[in-house]
Amino acid sequence: MPNVPILFHDIDGVLFGHYAGEFQLRPGVKSWLAWAHEHFELIWLTSWESERIHSLLRVLCCDKFGDNLESPPFHHANWTNYENKVVWVQQAVQKLNGREWFWIDDEIEKFSLEIESAGIPLGRCIQSNPTGRDELLSIQSTLNHCLANRNMNESDNERAA
- pLDDT tens-digit series, residues 98-123: 899 999 999 999 999 999 999 999 99
Q: Which residues contact 3 (CB under 8 A, 6 or more apart)?
A: none
pLDDT tier, 69 (very low <50, low <70, confident <90, very high otherwise): low
pLDDT tier, 64 (very low <50, low <70, confident <90, very high otherwise): low
pLDDT the model gives residue 61: 76
For the chain, strand residue ranges (E) read 6-9, 16-19, 22-25, 41-44, 75-76, 101-105, 125-127
Cβ atoms of 86 and 57 within 8 Å: the answer is no
pLDDT tier, 157 (very low <50, low <70, confident <90, very high otherwise): very low
Please give the Cα distance from 117 to 74 (Å, whole number). 29
